[in-house]
Chains A and B, each alone.
Chain A
Amino acid sequence: MGVSEILAYALGIISVASALLVVFSKNPIHSVLYLIITFFSIAGQYVLLNAQFLFIVQIIVYSGAIMVLFLFVLMLLNLNKDTEPQKSNLFKFISIITACSLFISMIAMVKGVGNLNLPSEPDSQIGLVKNLGLVLFSKYVIPFELSSVLFISGMVGAVMIGKKETHDIN
């Protein structure tokens, strides 16, 4: 068993455990912190899979920007104590059964596909910025430009929604 193999399994275990803690921890702040651990372990998997650019983007965008946004909203709304009303135990039981059956059916689907090992030629250069940039600006120029439009509209939408209303809706 090589070092990178052990690393891959350890990162998988960490990500699954902290994802479970995100779902089951009572305090929303703890959930956010466990989610950061999950994102970092997924970023570690990206390094092992030769996606170096996505590793950096994952850390900057997810563990940096998005998580700061979550923490900021949690602190702003002062929700860092457990005020959440619980769902009934019957509903929780049904939810767990639903998620488990989804899991089992997806596993069965993957098993039904048969051989997943595609004819591959692993290339360690593929995740570098140069390669991805060449593909991005040759093949995906229009989606790239559209994503800037999406960002502008998202920004305007967030400001519009977050603005204090002058009149009451009710």
Chain B
Amino acid sequence: MTDVIRQIDISYYVYLSILLFCIGVLGVLIRRNAIILFMCIELMLNSVNLLFVAFSSYRGDANGQLFVFFIMVVAAAEVAVGLAILVMMYRNTKSVDVSLLDKLKN
């Protein structure tokens, strides 16, 4: 399926990933549920992955796809540790509201 690369300009993928990244940022800003925040971070990571893959395919260069592979590895580890932190937070505060975690402020 090389015809996508010939038919569509790479700027389509650049704008699509910028849009997805900004939706992720918006989610991190307006939500308070820690699980939704994690999901928005995953969304941002995925948009960057999409951009990496797009550039790698348009250039015919395999390094970008290897970077995506490593980003996925780090994201999987991050989610495992993050959800463990979240379970512990729920156990201590009985809630997953991130705005309750302001004890370092004062």
> Which residues of A are in contact with B by a Cβ distance under 8 Å?
2, 4-5, 7-9, 12, 15-16, 19-20, 22-23, 28, 31-32, 35, 38-39, 42, 45-51, 53-54, 57-58, 61-62, 65-66, 69-70, 73-74, 76-77, 79, 83-87, 91-92, 95-96, 98-100, 102-103, 106-107, 110, 116-118, 120-124, 126-127, 131-132, 135-136, 139-140, 143, 147, 150-151, 154-155, 157-159, 161-162, 164, 169-170
Contact = CB atoms under 8 A, between A and B. Distances in A.
A30 B22 CA distance: 20
A107 B77 contact: no
B8 A5 contact: yes
B58 A122 contact: yes
A166 to B, nearest CB: 13
Given A99-B26, A120-B59, 14 more contacts: A12-B12, A23-B26, A35-B39, A45-B54, A50-B5, A57-B69, A77-B90, A79-B33, A83-B95, A84-B33, A91-B30, A96-B30, A110-B14, A132-B66
A19 B23 contact: yes
B2 A50 contact: yes
Given A2-B3, A12-B12, A50-B5, A136 B66 contact: yes
A143 B84 contact: no
B20 to A, nearest CB: 6
A53 B21 CA distance: 23
Contacts of B19: 16, 103
**Residue with the highest number of chain A CB atoms closer than 10 Å, among B35, B75, B86, B87:** B35
Given A54-B68, A77-B87, A87 B35 contact: no
| Chain B interface extent, by class | 35 or more
A124 B30 contact: no
Interface of B: 1-16, 18-27, 29-33, 35-36, 38-40, 42-43, 46, 49-50, 53-63, 65-66, 68-70, 72-81, 83-88, 90-92, 95-97, 99
Contact of B4 (A5, A38, A98, A139): A5
B43 A22 contact: yes
Contacts of B84: 157-159, 161-162
Contact of B27 (A22, A100, A123): A22
B42 A106 contact: no
A66 B9 CA distance: 32
